[in-house]
Structures are given as structure tokens and as C-alpha cells.
Amino acid sequence: PKITFAAADGETRTIEANIGDSVMETAVRNGISGVVAECGGSLSCATCHVIVDEDDFASLPPMEEMEDEMLWGTAVDRTGTSRLSCQIRVTEDMGLRVTLPETQV
Ligand code: FES
């Protein structure tokens, strides 16, 4: 599965992700600095905010209520396709493009 991360400054990187990892883990392991992930994926920091491309957003499993609530606390205001990347699992047939917010803190 390929995940493309587009930084706020326009720099883009496409990474071959491991099935079962979260998108946040994929980013951190590959040195994508736009994902901070202070809490390590326990849904308590909102510093793993990503904006999912509209075309990909609908193909993701819907978010849990807790993620939705946490998204009101992001450093850059959420958009209609915002997600917390620690809550998105990489699946076999995934092709995902996300944009990173300008700041996470
Ligand atoms: Fe903290 Fe996602 S890593 S909420």
C-alpha cells in the first residue's frame, strides 16, 4: 500500500507502508516531520492530524466518536476531511494521499 504525504510547503513523499500499521506509525518511522504524534497513538494529543484527499476520504472506515471529539483540539483547524492518522489502519488495497497541516502544536 502506498501513502503519499504532502507537506504544507508542497514537498511530497510517497511511502510503501506495512499492512496493519497506522498511518501515523508509517509517518513517524519514515521521518515525516509534519506528524508529531506526542501521545504515541493513544488518541490523546491530536498532533497526528492529517487532511485526507477528498477522493480517499470516503473509502476509509468511519471515525469513532472519540477521534471526532479530539479533532476539535488540533493546532490547525480541522477540515471536512481531517483525520487523526493514528486511527487510520493501513490496509492491503489502500492508496492514500494526505496533506499535513502547517503545524501540529
Ligand atoms: Fe496522539 Fe494520534 S498520536 S492522537
- Cα(93) to centroid(ligand 1), Å: 24
User: What is d(CA 77, CA 51) in angstroms, rounded to the nearest whole number?
Assistant: 10
Any atom of ligand 1 within 6 Å of the Cβ of 46: yes
- Cα(84) to centroid(ligand 1), Å: 7
Q: What is the pTM of this model?
A: 0.97
Decide: residue 46, CB within 10 A, 0-12 exposed, 13-18 middle, 19+ buried. Answer: buried
Any atom of ligand 1 within 6 Å of the Cβ of 84: yes
User: What is d(CA 103, CA 105) in angstroms, rounded to the nearest whole number?
Assistant: 6
User: What is d(CA 20, CA 56) in angstroms, rounded to the nearest whole number?
Assistant: 18
Using CA of residue 24, residue 26, residue 27, residue 29, what is the dihedral sign? positive
The pLDDT value recorded for residue 18 is: 98
Q: What is the CATH number of the domain that holds 62?
A: 3.10.20.30
> pLDDT tens digits, the chain, 105 residues: what are they?
999 999 988 899 999 999 999 999 999 999 999 999 999 999 999 999 999 999 999 999 999 999 999 999 999 999 999 999 999 999 999 999 999 999 999
Total number of domains in the chain: 1
Q: Which domain holds residue 41?
A: 2-99
Any atom of ligand 1 within 6 Å of the Cβ of 45: yes
The pLDDT value recorded for residue 80 is: 98
- Would 104 be classed as within a structural domain? no
